[in-house]
Amino acid sequence: MSFSRRISRPVITVSLGLLVLLAYGAGAIFWRTPNPIAWPQQWRADYHSRTCRATLRRIDIAIQEWALEHNAAGSTVVPTETIRERLEGQHVPACPSGGAYSVSTVEEPPRCSVPNHGL
């Protein structure tokens, strides 16, 4: 005895309709977004700027801790050696984009030499 399974016509119609909608949605995302080939470079740049900002926050926290412990005023120049001691690994990490960090006073946030990398 053999059984043949037959898919009904409404199921096929709905399935094809969903497939067309899915293809249309994927095409709309792909073709309406500017330059999808450049996405990996943009993602890398975003990752670098987020990593740099996170490092700048850690440096700023180290500065504020040092200022609280030493009762430093806002215009006090921060020694770089004390910041290194407070960071993990006893060194200031490098900016992923090749920028250099600079620290001046307690009230000024640390800066990166790369544009758009900052607090």
Distance CA 55, CA 49 (A): 10
Round to whole Å and give the CA distance between 82 and 69: 11
The segments of the chain whose pLDDT lies below 70 read 1-7, 30-36
What confidence tens digit (pLDDT) does each residue in 68-78 have? 998 888 888 88
| Domains of the chain with bracketed CATH | 37-112 (3.30.1300)
Please state the pTM of the whole predicted model. 0.66
Phi, psi of 88, deg, nearest 5 = -60, 135
CB of 76 closer than 8 Å to CB of 105: yes
Q: What gap in Å lies between CA 22 and CA 4, rounded to an integer?
A: 30
Each residue of 4-26: pLDDT tens digit?
566 677 888 888 889 988 888 77
Q: Nearest CA to 73 among 63, 82, 83?
A: 63
